[in-house]
Structure 1
Amino acid sequence: MRPDRSPRGLTLFASLFLAAGMALAQETTVAPPAAMVLENVPPVQASLAGQVAKYNEFKPTSFASWHPTRLEMIVSRRHQNTPQLFRVDKPGGPLTLMTDYAEPVRSAQYEPRHGKFYVFGRDTGGNEVFRAYRRDIGRDGKGGEAIPVTPDNRRVQDTAWGKTSGKLLYVTVPVGRQGSNDQIQSTVSIVNPEEPEQVRTLAELPGGGWSAFAFSHDDRQLVYSEYVSANESYLWLMDVATGKSRRLTEKNTENNGSEPVAYGNAVFSRDGKGLYTTSDRGSEFRRLVYIDIASGKETILTPDINWDIEDIDLSHDGKLLAFVANEDGTSVLRILRTGDRKLVAQPKLPVGVIGRIEWHKNSRHLALSLSSARSPSEVYSVDAKTNALTRWTRHEKMGVDMDKFVEPSLVRWKSFDGREISGFVYRPQAGKFPGKRPVVINIHGGPEAQFTPGFLGRNNYYTDEMGLTVIYPNVRGSSGYGKTFLKLDNGKLREDSVKDIGALLDWIATQPDMDASRVAVVGGSYGGYMTLAVSTMYADRIAASIDIVGISNFVTFLERTESYRRDLRRVEYGDERDPEMRKWMEAIAPANNADRIKKPLFVVQGKNDPRVPWQEADQIVATVKKNGTPVWYMTANDEGHGFAKKANADYLFYATIGFFNTYLLK
């Protein structure tokens, strides 16, 4: 019998073939997450997602809290789509899941006397309206129902535990006031978390810059910080019984007109007569100091360390003070005996970046988180008695060899005014990727921040698989290089930091292994502003740019950012209510100079961002589109200031690779 040549027969065969082809086609792309809105972003190929998969599964682990009576701890690590809390009952022991929410949970503290419950913080959709919850620990070690401890619709700015009473202090500010110029108040409250309705208000403080609250060992006093700017802050004392406060450190006007002083987090000495803190009084860097409360006299404890002391913690018995110095981006841990103020011997730590440090209540074991170029953040402890270093957590084996990840090199270049600027360069393997390689300049946010060479995670794909050279500059205005350097981008000096990137482009052109004709600029938050500014000022010298939750106009940004942070940002950027400053801000705004952006732009935004509201992204996208410049736009309706959910972050990474393949690796 001859085969059926009728249209019906052909249609049946063709439809079966077409259905198979459609199924195959559906398998070749990755569906974006449900909450993601895309404009001009091409579909992600499943083959790319498969190639990248082994770089997407890193699970950095950070220390959260010691148990007060047992040698065990809470850590934070990704569980499925978000970071959650885990209990670790011994070094190398299994991680027991304690929380399981759709939203990230990164911080927690055990109740300090018996550890029968813990308090943790959580927001919703990246809105940063953090609320504190109590969770009791049952006999099986698992938590019960989470009970709210702090009020709804107010952002928790800070918390502190009473060392003997077990009461919780928390500081809250109002939210949902974008666009309002009304003055806000910070409310300081104290409560027994087991009776959250029996709250007592200690004080109402003006503004939103109050933080770093810490109790004395008898719970009678509080020390806390008034933050004005990265270069100016003050220490205050409060009587817990009465709520009355007094400022301990001098105001600038009372200090003979000299420059202001910045203080770090302070802790009471064991006897309550003094404070250990950091101060840059008379120095470019924040040094470790002891302040006598009665006289106000400051004694410098680290005169020979010409780097910022970033973190301190005092042992429960008051005899050992641990502190971390930031030495050109690398963390160095030291321990000081408070009796004779001598450094004690301690184990050699792996070179890297140290996260939070905390003494166990036994005053012997110090916990810390540590990451490096070849290791995600892991948790360790130092035994002050035996000088032993113990690793508590270890990343499971991956499909990629982390020991082969690229180590960064520290480089320096001269900027337009002769000032030296530095950064870290990650170069691909020369043998694997010969010739001049394309370059990605990744600019940190802040701007009062610093790129430090910790673990790059998925970004290792750029160097290892794409052969890109990645440079992380620390332009003027970055922290870690002294207070003079920190102030060099304030107010109308803003574009000088952009010129530092111009000088970096000059330096790239002199490097034999870098292709100056193929340079992309990437940045998030303030780094997003820098990216947009570079795109307007050096459009002919870059190939593409990616703006992630970036500022496109400082005027509209300051008018819309949440009110609890608005005045703090005005100190850095200038006050948009001043006509002269407003005129200058409008003149330099990337949104008002978008006609100069000639190279492809990728804009990424979280819809719930309280810091840089979504309108900043919308207005730059709309303006650049009018010029005919290619613009990719990605918005996540369940994210805030950056993507915290793994599914969203994964898809953004796939799209970023596609953007580089399209516009940088041509």
Structure 2
Amino acid sequence: MRFLHLPRPFGLVLFTALVSTGAGAADQAAFPPPPALVLENVPQVPAGLAAQVAKYNEFKPTSITSWHPTRLEMIVVRRHNNTPQLFRLTKPGDKMELLTDYPEPVRGASYNPGQGKFYIFNKDIGGNEVFRTYRRDLAGGEAVPITPADQRVQGISWSPKGDKLVYVTVPVNRQGSNDAISSTVSIVDPVHPGSARKLAELAGGGWGGFEFSEDEKQLIFVEHVSANESYLWLMDLASGKTRRITEKNGDEPVAYGNARFSHDGKGIYAVSDRGAEFKRLVYIDLATLQAKALTPDINWDVEALDLSHDGRMLAFVANEEGTSVLRLMRTSDHKLVPLPKLPVGTIGRIEWHRDSRHLGLSLSSATSPSDVYSIDIKTMAVTRWTRHEPMAVEMGKFVEPSLVRWKSFDGRMISGFAYRAPAARFPGKRPVLINIHGGPEGQFQPGFQGRNNYYTDEMGITVIYPNVRGSSGYGKSFLKLDNGRLREDSVRDIGALLDWIATQPDMDASRVAVMGGSYGGYMSLAVSTNYADRIAAAIDIVGISNFVTFLERTESYRRDLRRVEYGDERDPEMRQFLEKIAPLNNATKIRKPLFVVQGKNDPRVPYQESAQIVETVKKNEIPVWYMMANDEGHGFGKKGNQDYLFFSGIQFLNSYLLKH
């Protein structure tokens, strides 16, 4: 049984535009920033502004994280006060019982598979992503650490009986070190943390996805080399010996993932793009190591799967041009089983109850934050477990996205999703905000916009989420189109989008802003250097300003993975290329206002990437706003910080986009 750590978001979407309400006394009072924020050139936030837009600031998405093993109840994740925390939900629609209340986010948990008397969860400090695993009794009491301090836990899995955990740790605080690292695989009885023993030491930091066989004699796990290349390995638990069971495919890398042992232990269910453009559901016979594609007719990525505990049913999710489609397959004959209709949207997680009858899932749509559902596969009844409480805004009236396409510089069609302002309320050409995802192998899927609905519904801003080349979900060839020396081709996709915007009768090409987080932050900076005359402003959230300094400073457990994507800065020719395209080294071309946002404890894109671009661009004598959070990492996870960033973003785009 697996326990999935939910990753931190790479950035926070800003919500923009100030509606004039008059200059009363309340408007003149300042809304105080949280104490952890360090602000440079960021003006005070009027209290009236904060009050005016607060109704868009209180969404509480809810996600399933674990079924109870013996009862039909679950642990869910939902925001409590300032951070996401764990809640116990005993029946559909019931009041949630708060389980954790920490100043730091807790985004994932798992009951022990036996009696469900305790659960485990991961937590870091200040966004540093040095996750540690804790055990806590369902009856209450203090949480007990069960993994070492100062080691990052990045994979953990229960044994079927629930008396053992396997976890993987990597060293941290190694920014700037080029020393080779290794991942340590350990096994422990979570009731007795002192019983931990090392199973194996694996070279590198790309190991994860560990799963037990039903007889608890073997582990299946994944070696991640890049977004396009990964391998499946087996480990004998008695000896700790490992062997790779998937081979290299010549010069064409293959990706594997989501591996599960079949119930009889004779095979592996997984997803793979071997011999195909998309990741398909496959079955690998362990006797012959031959793989059979089980979904050859689905020409989209299978991105999630779960095997029922009796081994009879496979549930999996296909990403069909951004929309999640759930399917059910019998393992006896690999035939699909019809499922009841679900709301159209994005499925965030699926998990079988141990009764092998109830399938839980989290689902969001354009008009609903993530809520929790279950399907009874015996009766095919769909039950909605959670429902967002009423708010001052009518979520059912939020705008639905439309799929848009444009031709890029090389004739390739690029797509994205546009959330247009209601034409009846906002006639004529509207300002545009281009919001670029991170990854870079991420993908924007048209789920719930949250606060971003303020853009469209209150301010009349059209928001476009492009999936430029290098995005996942469109096949492995598309995924590789921005690697290494092809890096700026994805930037040119945004240039082509600017051309397309100029042809749209309802969009104002003279008022376009660009923003993004992580790699999307790099894209915002790169657009600012390459298309400065075609944008009004840019927002860079935890973005890369120079790939060389980024690769030299990012945490060592992820450096080699990033080198495959961006290029190896230790190679003189590649280093020269990376320096040439770096926004930091082209900062004199940035001539439009810039807002830079950063978490001080970011292990992925260290804070120096933001600090150096701010100091350099200030020399251009253009407005540069800078917000640093001393208690955050790769994006803001605390609501107080999120709120203040939200309000500051309003003022920034009101000043430099709407009044442009």
TM-score (norm 1): 0.95
- Structure 1, 26-35 or 540-549: larger mean CA deviation: 26-35
1:394 to 383, 387, 393: 387
1:173 to 170, 180, 200: 170
CA contact (8 A) 1:424 1:453 kept: yes
SS at match of 1:611: coil
Instruction: Compute the RMSD of aligned alpha carbons.
Output: 1.0
Query: Partner of 2:37 in structure 1?
Result: 36
Query: Partner of 2:110 in structure 1?
Result: 109
Letter in 2 for 1:250: E
* CA deviation vs aligned residue, 1:569-613 (integer Å, no higher than 9, x gap): 000000000000001100100000000000000000000000000
Letter in 1 for 2:434: I
SS at match of 1:449: coil
Query: Partner of 1:378 in structure 2?
Result: 371
* Cα offset, 1:565, TM superposition: 0.3
Greater relative contact order (CA < 8 Å, ≥ 6 in sequence):
2
Letter in 1 for 2:191: E
SS at match of 2:489: helix
* CA deviation vs aligned residue, 1:208-253 (integer Å, no higher than 9, x gap): 000000001111110000000111000000011111111000123x
Query: Partner of 1:221 in structure 2?
Result: 218
CA contact (8 A) 1:330 1:353 kept: yes
CA distance in 2, matches of 1:260, 1:623: 39
CA contact (8 A) 1:411 1:423 kept: yes
Letter in 1 for 2:556: S
SS at match of 1:176: coil
* Cα offset, 1:190, TM superposition: 0.5
Query: Partner of 1:49 in structure 2?
Result: 50
Letter in 2 for 1:84: Q
CA contact (8 A) 2:284 2:292 kept: yes
1:213-612 matches, cutoff 5 A? 213-252=210-249, 257-612=250-605
Alignment of 1:120 with 2:113, yes or no, is no
SS at match of 2:371: strand
CA distance in 2, matches of 1:132, 1:381: 27
* Cα offset, 1:435, TM superposition: 1.0
SS at match of 1:465: helix
CA contact (8 A) 2:27 2:47 kept: no
Letter in 1 for 2:51: G
CA distance in 1, matches of 2:95, 2:427: 44
CA distance in 1, matches of 2:25, 2:511: 35
SS at match of 1:595: helix
SS at match of 2:85: strand
CA contact (8 A) 1:156 1:171 kept: yes
Letter in 2 for 1:450: Q
CA contact (8 A) 1:165 1:219 kept: no
* Cα offset, 1:27, TM superposition: 6.5
Query: Partner of 2:651 in structure 1?
Result: 658
Letter in 1 for 2:60: K
* Cα offset, 1:165, TM superposition: 4.7
SS at match of 1:477: coil
* Cα offset, 1:47, TM superposition: 1.2
CA distance in 1, matches of 2:199, 2:331: 32
* Cα offset, 1:200, TM superposition: 1.1
* CA deviation vs aligned residue, 1:456-497 (integer Å, no higher than 9, x gap): 101110101111000000000000000000000000000000
* Cα offset, 1:24, TM superposition: 4.9
* Cα offset, 1:164, TM superposition: 1.8
CA distance in 2, matches of 1:484, 1:503: 20
CA distance in 2, matches of 1:431, 1:269: 55
Corresponding residue pairs, total: 636
1:146 to 143, 146, 152: 143
* CA deviation vs aligned residue, 1:10-31 (integer Å, no higher than 9, x gap): xxxxxxxxxxxxx957962101
Letter in 2 for 1:212: G
Query: Partner of 1:626 in structure 2?
Result: 619
Query: Partner of 2:16 in structure 1?
Result: none
Change (3 A) 1:165 1:438: closer
CA distance in 2, matches of 1:552, 1:637: 20
CA contact (8 A) 2:470 2:482 kept: yes
* Cα offset, 1:294, TM superposition: 1.0
CA distance in 1, matches of 2:98, 2:112: 19
CA distance in 1, matches of 2:324, 2:261: 24
Considering only CA atoms, is the larger Rg found in Structure 1 or Structure 2? 1
CA distance in 2, matches of 1:220, 1:372: 41
* CA deviation vs aligned residue, 1:253-284 (integer Å, no higher than 9, x gap): xxxx2411101110000000000001101110
Letter in 2 for 1:428: A
SS at match of 1:144: coil
Identity %: 75
CA distance in 1, matches of 2:438, 2:413: 20
SS at match of 1:592: helix
CA distance in 2, matches of 1:543, 1:165: 56
Query: Partner of 1:4 in structure 2?
Result: none
CA distance in 2, matches of 1:154, 1:75: 26
* Cα offset, 1:113, TM superposition: 1.1
Query: Partner of 2:75 in structure 1?
Result: 74
Query: Partner of 1:13 in structure 2?
Result: none
CA distance in 2, matches of 1:486, 1:407: 27
* CA deviation vs aligned residue, 1:348-377 (integer Å, no higher than 9, x gap): 010000011110000000000000110000
* Cα offset, 1:434, TM superposition: 1.2
* Cα offset, 1:431, TM superposition: 1.1
* Cα offset, 1:166, TM superposition: 2.3
Change (3 A) 1:25 1:50: closer
CA distance in 2, matches of 1:558, 1:542: 29
CA contact (8 A) 1:164 1:218 kept: no
CA distance in 2, matches of 1:380, 1:165: 25
SS at match of 1:196: strand
SS at match of 1:351: coil
Gaps in structure 1 of 5+ consecutive residues: 1-22
CA distance in 2, matches of 1:220, 1:504: 53
CA distance in 2, matches of 1:301, 1:659: 51
* Cα offset, 1:144, TM superposition: 1.6
Query: Partner of 1:19 in structure 2?
Result: none
Query: Partner of 1:6 in structure 2?
Result: none
Alignment of 1:209 with 2:206, yes or no, is yes
SS at match of 2:142: strand
TM-score (norm 2): 0.96
* Cα offset, 1:388, TM superposition: 0.7
CA distance in 1, matches of 2:340, 2:89: 23
Letter in 2 for 1:272: G
